Structure 1
Amino acid sequence: MNMNESFQTLNFLPRGKFKVELVPGVSKTNFLSICYGALTTIGLLTFISYSTNYVLLENLAYERSQIGTIVGNLQVIAEIVLLSIFLPIGLIADKIGRRQVYSFGMLTMGLAYFLYPLATGIAELTVYRVIYAIGMGTATGMLGTVTADYPQNHTRGKMIAVTGILNATGVIIVSLFFARLPKTFADMGFDQITAGKYSMWIVAATCVITAVVVALGLQKGTPTEEQKKIPYLKQIKAGLAEGRKPRIQLVYASAFVARADLVIIGTFLVLWGTMAGKDMGMTTAEAQSAARIVFVTSSMSALVASPIIGYLIDKVDRIKAVSFCMAIAAAGYLSMFFINDVLSPDVKPLFVLLGVGHQCAFFAATTLLGQEAPKMKRGAIVGVFNLAGAAGILISTGIGGKIYDVIGPYAPFVLIGFCNIAVSLFAIYVSKTSPDVKEA
């Protein structure tokens, strides 16, 4: 990677074929810090799926027939918390700065992971899940905001590709290394509960490290000094007013499904694989070790596809990109209907399609957000974007947990597949009725 003296242009391939141009004032340290945040934040938040399944099965000894509904209910409670904090978090970040808020989020996530294996009942576990939701919502909100702040608009897709690659790499690292820790500790002679506890505490420590990195490394202050002078109420009204524009409506609709995409994969794909392993007579640690391979297959395909998706999004109209990307995502999710044995090597191509589809949806939504959100209103709009995403997760996991138990493990994926189709069609409508592109 070559950088010019002002660190404004970052070349990732020879002759500038893949470069990210940063806005004035963003330094090399700022960029590398958000890259580290992108590498760790999303990966660490996906570990909650492994942790929840492990605690429910080992610490609290729930039956398989109850797990899907309980997991869905925990996610619903978490999303209610997220719905209440996303907008205030965006506004606070616009007032005091991104890095303080981001660091607080990672520290809170770490606290939740420390407490999680200490739960003695479902009520206590729910409280710890609420703490996790506060931290996760804060950290991911700031990751999205900073990713939108740093690049110039014409290279925004490539910036999203860089952070997307790091997101996927982090998820893979967590799945290959951290998700294996319970089995590693069990093989060392620790009982199943202690093995899980030590694993979650290691994840908690990693969250603290990320909190320190973003606190020290991200850009100081807010995007503009004038932003501090705008009253909260005025910012809220401005953010909601933007939602009357069809293109911003599409941004929010994209968030509704794209955020749900990640949670559905992280929650129900891991659960599906874990339960399949338990049915084969594995211990919980062994079953989760088998399930992580399924998740890694999906994540690895997302990683490989990331630079291609980011490059292509910068070359085409971003509204049309949303339509195409959501259609690919729909194909991936609907293909889960055809899986009988989730641990069979024969179905790996479907998980590849699932991973590529999810990454397409995420890139399209995030890139369109960065393009359409005015800089002075970006924090508030990102807050509403996250609210829409939280609403999508709330509905999809609330329904998904129940249909997982009643219909089958493929059902939550099919539900999201149809949601992706709806957004793809809406993007076609917006492309025809609101074609004007607005610079960020």
Structure 2
Amino acid sequence: MIFMTMILALQPVYLRVVLGVSLEDAGAINANVQVLTEVLDLLIIGYMGHLSDVYGRVRVVVWGFVVAGIAALIVPYSLEVGLFLGIGGLAVFYLMRIVMSLGTTAVTPQLAAVTGDFSDFKDRAPLMSKMAFMMAFGATLVYAVLMQMPRYVGLIPTMLIMPAVAFIGAWLAHRYLIDLTPPVKERKMPWREGLALIKADRRLRLAFLSAFSSRNDLVLIGLFLMLWFVYFADVIGMGHEEAAARGGALIGLIGLVILISIPVWGWFIQRFGRMAALAAGLFLSGIGFISMAFVVNPYDWGIYVPALFMAVGQAGTLIAPQVLTIDLSPPPMRGFILGAFNTIGGIGMIFFVQIGGFLFDWIGPYAPFVFTGIGNLLIMLYALWLMRVEDEPEAGD
């Protein structure tokens, strides 16, 4: 999570300071980078899940880290490489961001699949909570600690932490991860069986809808909050490195609240059920996002109230949909179903981030948050209705 979060956090600063992207184009360009990577991720994420079913999770994770690390080594020098190749620094940045994203696409879903392989219905929520805790801890570490480094060591040296983390991740995965589920013999992707499963179970469709609406939340918070801080700094005469540090501190606080909330959500899921936790998380995050409409200056203390609601709600939407999806996925198809789950989440990310970028430029920095909050509350209403007509998953589903 450190690797994926760092590029998201440093991207607005790098584009502004090194590549000279203006305030007028900041929202669209930053959103376009994210959307382009997500579109290409959509083309392979389901296939990566199927490859993990066929060849094993560990092999896919290791090579994903290696590919992402190589691209991360080039990203800080996009301007120099672009000048050498004669194609411009922004084009090189776009290309390397794509490769980094493709590498991480091979990693994250497989880690969730490994957790699902090692768990049963009874202990799945606690184990998924622990995995989510470590992911949130990585994100918190980035914003609370690593985002303070550009002020002291410079932007480029800070960015070089990313490839180091990726290569360490590859070594750790190769050394310590174990494939538990036997590889499937069928190498064709199980499209028909997967679609039949999704069509037959409304609870699984709810998990997919939640992924569509809320998977983008962490990306949206990191991208547009950092944009807001960096570009509002020009209005108040603050340096960009200082602005990035202030923005990182707030996002770090959000990550800390997520960390504290995750064990509570693990208990909540066990006590009240998967769908109830999903609905509660969507409600809290939706209220937090919509409340950002009342924020004018991101450096004012008033921003902390909606930020806390977003954080607590995000912790729930981080765990409950994945637990619900794994519960309802047959082990031989688990990688494929999780790939489809993340594909739907990627489509949602494209939808909310792309529109959010335009709303950021045309209406104001708060607009992407309000738009996402409305989406979360709409899915929450569907979850509440479904809880009245469907039973919670049970062992053996």
Q: TM-score with structure 2 length normalisation?
A: 0.93
Q: Which residue of 2 aligns with 1:9?
A: none
Question: Structure 1 residues 260-269 or 146-155, which shifts more?
Answer: 146-155
Identity, % of aligned positions: 27
Q: Which residue of 2 aligns with 1:326?
A: 282
Match of 1:339 among 295, 305, 323: 295
Match of 1:203 among 137, 162, 174: 162
8 Å CA contact 1:336, 1:414 repeated in 2: yes
Local SS of the residue matching 1:119: helix
Instruction: Provide runs of 4+ in structure 1 moved above 4 Å.
Output: none
The CA deviation at 1:430 is: 2.4
Q: Which residue of 2 aligns with 1:313?
A: 269
The CA deviation at 1:89 is: 0.3
Asked if residue 67 in structure 1 is aligned to residue 23 in structure 2, the reply is no
Counterparts of residues 87-106 of structure 1 (less than 5 Å): 87-106=46-65
8 Å CA contact 2:289, 2:372 repeated in 1: yes
Match of 1:254 among 210, 217, 222: 210
Rounded Cα–Cα distance in structure 1 between residues aligned with 2:27 and 2:177: 39
Q: Which residue of 2 aligns with 1:237?
A: 192
The CA deviation at 1:64 is: 1.0
Q: Which residue of 2 aligns with 1:143?
A: 111
8 Å CA contact 1:339, 1:410 repeated in 2: yes
The CA deviation at 1:435 is: 2.2
Q: Which residue of 2 aligns with 1:289?
A: 245
Local SS of the residue matching 1:229: coil
Larger RCO (CA within 8 A; separation ≥ 6): 2
8 Å CA contact 2:275, 2:392 repeated in 1: no
Going from structure 1 to structure 2, the CA distance change for 1:387 and 1:406 (only over 3 Å counts) comes to same
Rounded Cα–Cα distance in structure 1 between residues aligned with 2:338 and 2:47: 11
Q: Which residue of 2 aligns with 1:154?
A: 122
Match of 1:223 among 181, 188, 200: 181
Query: Which residue identity does 2:298 align to in structure 1?
Result: V
Deviations 1:7-63 (A, max 9, x none): xxxxxxxxxxxxxxxxxxxxxxxxxxxxxxxxxxx2321111233112211111111
Local SS of the residue matching 1:50: helix
Query: Which residue identity does 1:241 align to in structure 2?
Result: A
Match of 1:107 among 59, 66, 75: 66
8 Å CA contact 2:285, 2:314 repeated in 1: yes
Going from structure 1 to structure 2, the CA distance change for 1:173 and 1:436 (only over 3 Å counts) comes to closer
8 Å CA contact 2:206, 2:383 repeated in 1: yes
Deviations 1:182-213 (A, max 9, x none): 1111xxxxxxxxx2221111221111101110
Match of 1:383 among 336, 339, 350: 339
Query: Which residue identity does 2:279 align to in structure 1?
Result: S
Deviations 1:236-294 (A, max 9, x none): 32222221021111111111122111111121112112222343323322221111011
Rounded Cα–Cα distance in structure 2 between residues aligned with 1:272 and 1:349: 17
Local SS of the residue matching 1:305: helix
Asked if residue 435 in structure 1 is aligned to residue 391 in structure 2, the reply is yes
8 Å CA contact 1:251, 1:365 repeated in 2: yes
Rounded Cα–Cα distance in structure 2 between residues aligned with 1:231 and 1:110: 28
The CA deviation at 1:381 is: 0.3
Rounded Cα–Cα distance in structure 1 between residues aligned with 2:386 and 2:332: 24
Local SS of the residue matching 1:223: coil
Query: Which residue identity does 1:300 align to in structure 2?
Result: L
Rounded Cα–Cα distance in structure 2 between residues aligned with 1:173 and 1:285: 17
Counterparts of residues 388-427 of structure 1 (less than 5 Å): 388-427=344-383
Rounded Cα–Cα distance in structure 2 between residues aligned with 1:266 and 1:103: 26
Rounded Cα–Cα distance in structure 1 between residues aligned with 2:280 and 2:145: 34
Counterparts of residues 362-381 of structure 1 (less than 5 Å): 362-381=318-337
Rounded Cα–Cα distance in structure 2 between residues aligned with 1:346 and 1:408: 17
Local SS of the residue matching 2:160: helix
8 Å CA contact 1:59, 1:117 repeated in 2: no
Local SS of the residue matching 1:363: helix
Q: Which residue of 2 aligns with 1:80?
A: 39
Question: Structure 1 residues 146-155 or 70-79, which shifts more?
Answer: 146-155
Q: Which residue of 2 aligns with 1:6?
A: none
- Give the RMSD, CA atoms, in angstroms: 1.6
8 Å CA contact 1:294, 1:343 repeated in 2: no
Counterparts of residues 266-285 of structure 1 (less than 5 Å): 266-285=222-241
Going from structure 1 to structure 2, the CA distance change for 1:272 and 1:320 (only over 3 Å counts) comes to same
Rounded Cα–Cα distance in structure 1 between residues aligned with 2:194 and 2:181: 16
8 Å CA contact 1:153, 1:370 repeated in 2: no
8 Å CA contact 2:213, 2:375 repeated in 1: yes
Rounded Cα–Cα distance in structure 2 between residues aligned with 1:202 and 1:317: 39
Unaligned 5+ segments in structure 1 are 1-41, 186-194
The CA deviation at 1:423 is: 1.2
8 Å CA contact 1:178, 1:203 repeated in 2: no
Question: Structure 1 residues 305-314 or 147-156, which shifts more?
Answer: 147-156
Rounded Cα–Cα distance in structure 1 between residues aligned with 2:235 and 2:193: 52
Question: Structure 1 residues 142-151 or 259-268, which shifts more?
Answer: 142-151
Rounded Cα–Cα distance in structure 2 between residues aligned with 1:351 and 1:436: 30
The CA deviation at 1:436 is: 6.0
